[in-house]
Every structure is written in C-alpha cells, then in structure tokens.
C-alpha cells in the first residue's frame, strides 16, 4: 500500500463570517469529499440535489433539510441523501461537516 499523504481533517480548517467555507479534501473519478465549515447561524439554503451525498458531522450541531423534513445532527452523526432529494444545512453552533458525494 502506498500512502500518498497523511493530514488531520482539521488542518487549514477555517470559518468565514458570512458564507460557508468549502474545501476539497479528496477527489477521484468516482467520488469526492468536501469539508464544509459554517459559523453559528449560517446556512446553505435548501436546494434540489443532483447526486447521492452523505453528510458526516465532525464538530458542532446543525439542522439538515431532507426529502422527509428537517433532521438535527450533532457530532459523529451522519445522514445520507438520494440523488434527487432536496438538501440544505443550517448551523446551530459552529459546524464542520464532511460531504461525501458521487
């Protein structure tokens, strides 16, 4: 096995004051992983999805919009959404999420 690089998921993590910070962590031909950081009170407005995604909460708490309503998630919780399912995120406190999508 070849190790390409080892990093801590919080290396270079930042919060922006007025918009979510989105950082590409990994990308391959089949999927990509984004780190999304939202200061308390910020949101990614609900929108129609176009891909399967899993949101995994690393830090904080937030409300996630899904096709079946809003779900509150905290540290170590995750939720998966189908490709055509609506999605959105509203932070209840400073929030760091991994988004793993195809």
Residue 5: the pLDDT is 76
Does the residue 58 lie in any domain? Answer: yes
| CA atoms of 36 and 15, how far apart (whole Å) | 9
Residue 6: the pLDDT is 86
Does the residue 18 lie in any domain? Answer: no
CATH of residue 86's domain is 2.60.120.10
| CA atoms of 67 and 38, how far apart (whole Å) | 22
Does the residue 74 lie in any domain? Answer: yes
Residue 4: the pLDDT is 67
Q: Can you give the residue range of the structural domain that contains 72? A: 35-101
Domain count, the chain: 1
Does the residue 43 lie in any domain? Answer: yes
Residue 3: the pLDDT is 58
Residue 64: the pLDDT is 98
| Low pLDDT (below 50) residues in the chain | none
């Amino acid at each position: 096995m070849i190790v390409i690089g080892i990093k801590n998921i919080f290396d270079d993590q930042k919060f922006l004051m007025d918009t979510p910070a989105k950082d590409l962590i990994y990308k391959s031909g089949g999927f990509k992983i984004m780190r999304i950081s939202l200061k308390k009170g910020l949101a990614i407005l609900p929108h129609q999805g176009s891909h399967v995604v899993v949101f995994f909460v690393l830090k904080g708490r937030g409300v996630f919009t899904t096709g079946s309503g809003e779900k509150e998630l905290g540290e170590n919780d995750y939720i998966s959404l189908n490709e055509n399912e609506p999605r959105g995120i509203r932070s209840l406190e400073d929030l760091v999420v991994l988004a793993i999508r195809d």
